[in-house]
Structure 1
Amino acid sequence: MADAAIFYFQRTLYKESDKTSTWQTIPENTTVVTAYIDIGPFSKGYLHRKRSTTFYFERAKAFKFLLNSLIVFTNSNIFKHYMLELRRDLLSVTKVFLIDSMSIRSFQYIKQIQEIFLLHSYPKYYPHTTNPMYTCVTHAKFDFLLNATTENTFKSKYFMWLDVGYYSSKTSLKMFYLSKPPSFDETKIAADQVVSNLTQALELDPNTIFKKKMSIVAAGLLYGERSRIIYFSKLYQRGFRYFLSQNLTNSEQQVIYAIYCDKGSRILKPAVELQYYRAPGAPYYHFLGTRLMKVSSLS
């Protein structure tokens, strides 16, 4: 029955001018949430290695081929119109919100974050612990997720966060959609595991996690049922504020790790667990994204 629905969707897609007339026949009806907050060029990895804004514009081209409903947040009017042009055949399942970055909840803590980064003893990782605006952007994805899931514009059961630069612009020259992960537990949040020994990794304490920039999952793609995403986003915000009060901050991956490590779990008591997807062999940050992608055979 699902295959018949997909075929009907693909056949209708090319018979009608509005490519989204039957978008709800995509299995599991997953809404994708992403964002681009322009903070100008910044150092990535090393002080003199710069990442320009053109990187994200180039990577965003992949969204032209994404059949899922899409919600985009940006502080850039140029990027807003760029995305609307990319999605011109999918506008009925696309919402692009132009926002003031300083209105984002995580940005309210930028001065406190900067004060921590200025501490002589605090480790310097570019841009994670050197650029407060970059760090706020990584935390903001949970503000955006909470907004999108609460509003639920497209009446979706499932939501996923997808970094705007997650897929290469050459990922697919065909229409594709992102569906539920295999063997997905709907009580959990799906994420890529990027450590080999999970039990051992969870024994680390938050201080080590933040100051050594350790990660347990990649946060470029997170998938969950709507009510679980809402809870997870609120849990994240609570954890972010708690660790900030302990003079600990870094990117979103360190906050997630610190919440779910043994010590963090005892303090924050998360009521939603992570479902870890691990690539065979070496950790691969985009493994889950390859498992979710379904390419349309009639593109």
Structure 2
Amino acid sequence: MYNVILQDATQDFIRSLAGTNKSLTIVTGYFNIGNFPKGSVANVRTPQKYQDWLRVLGRVKNPVILYTDSQPFAALFRDIRNNYTHSTKVVVIERNTLWSFQIMPQIAKIYSAPGYPKHYPNTYIPAYTSLTHSKLPVVVDAIEHSYFSTDYYCWLDVGYFREIVTRNKTFWLEVPSDFDSTKVGVTRVYNSKLSDIRAKTIIYGNLNWIGGGLFLGKPDVLVRFGKQYKSAVMRYLNESLMNVEQHILYSMFTTEERKKHPIDIDVQLYIPGTKTVMSRDPWFYLGYVMYDET
């Protein structure tokens, strides 16, 4: 009886959002790879850090789906979302069911090659690279399972709103009024050149253009974007080039790569400084454009 009541509450809630800029499902994820260096070997990121950051998602009113391979992390998330049970879904999976983790042996082989550049953890821990490539696959999975039938979906890193962990205010993420629904919304972190630069230069140099912390789009558009992204990852893998999602995305959108491999779904760039938002960190700009406490 409880499950029937919960399902009815969920459907009523989703219907109430239809046609509004709040009709947005958030997909996030956590795969436990233990401690790892971030930026340098001296700066260690731990599972506890992600557990601390996760608490922000206990205050968001949108439907939220978590993908994880960690039962303890899943249990913590359910507890954090206790006030929003009707709009919460936890998917515990084996990481090797995702293509992004199935390619980990090939990634490891590339990183072990003599002279391959070491960027911590991007080209140092193959499991970290694989988990960054898992963002779009789990979004596509959530859409295909139609856990919440909202007008829009987005990927959101667990640590995206790390600056407001202690703010203790409920909020919505809302689709910006100027969003082009034929594209995928992203933050343009750096005004990097797209012409006269090779994919190898970007991947070897750990160069950035757009952030990978948030992808926003219509369900069908994100599914096509995910296929396009997977094709690029596999292409670079076959060329013995690999790095995390941000550098793959930068590479595939360069002028040279687009000529050889035309883009199906383009990105809409949200440029930090265009609007005044709560955070000054350019990596989190689009999320704070979407952030609304009213």
TM over 0.5: yes
What displacement does 1:49 show? 1.8
Matched, 1:260 2:253: yes
- Residue 72 (structure 1) aligns with: 66
- Residue 270 (structure 2) aligns with: 277
Q: Which deviates more, 131-140 or 165-174?
A: 165-174
Q: Matched residue of 2:100: which SS?
A: helix
Letter in 2 for 1:239: A
Which of 112, 119, 122 aligns to 1:118? It is 112
Matched, 1:242 2:235: yes
Q: Which runs of 5+ in 1 are unaligned?
A: 1-17
Runs (4+) off by over 4 Å: 18-21
8 A contact 2:184–2:265 mirrored in 1: yes
Matched, 1:25 2:23: no
Output one character per residue of 1:219-256: Cα deviation in whole Å (capped at 9) or x when no partner. Answer: 10110111110000111111000011011100000111
- Residue 127 (structure 1) aligns with: 121
Output one character per residue of 1:114-151: Cα deviation in whole Å (capped at 9) or x when no partner. Answer: 01101111100000001000000000111101101112
Which of 219, 222, 228 aligns to 1:226? It is 219
What displacement does 1:20 show? 9.1
- Residue 85 (structure 1) aligns with: 79
Matched, 1:291 2:289: yes
Letter in 2 for 1:56: Y
Q: Which runs of 5+ in 2 are unaligned?
A: 1-8, 275-279
Q: Matched residue of 1:201: which SS?
A: coil
Call closer, same or farther: CA 1:124–1:144 in 2, change over 3 Å.
same
- Residue 193 (structure 1) aligns with: 188
8 A contact 1:19–1:90 mirrored in 2: no
- Residue 7 (structure 1) aligns with: none
Cα distance in 1 for residues equivalent to 2:230 and 2:197 = 21
What displacement does 1:271 show? 1.4
TM-score, normalised via structure 1 length: 0.88
Q: Pairwise CA RMSD of aligned residues? A: 1.8
Q: How many residues align?
A: 277
Matched, 1:99 2:90: no
Cα distance in 2 for residues equivalent to 1:215 and 1:255 = 10
Letter in 2 for 1:285: W
Which of 54, 58, 61 aligns to 2:55? It is 61
Cα distance in 1 for residues equivalent to 2:11 and 2:153 = 18
What displacement does 1:21 show? 5.5
Cα distance in 2 for residues equivalent to 1:76 and 1:290 = 28
Call closer, same or farther: CA 1:185–1:42 in 2, change over 3 Å.
same
8 A contact 2:136–2:226 mirrored in 1: yes
Output one character per residue of 1:188-208: Cα deviation in whole Å (capped at 9) or x when no partner. Answer: 111000122x5x334321000
- Residue 11 (structure 1) aligns with: none
- Residue 14 (structure 1) aligns with: none
8 A contact 1:20–1:90 mirrored in 2: no
The percentage of counterpart residues that share the same residue type is 27
Cα distance in 1 for residues equivalent to 2:16 and 2:50 = 30
Call closer, same or farther: CA 1:32–1:171 in 2, change over 3 Å.
farther
Which of 189, 195, 203 aligns to 2:196? It is 203
Which of 138, 145, 151 aligns to 2:132? It is 138
Q: Matched residue of 1:97: which SS?
A: strand
Which of 159, 165, 173 aligns to 1:170? It is 165
What displacement does 1:218 show? 0.4
Call closer, same or farther: CA 1:202–1:147 in 2, change over 3 Å.
farther
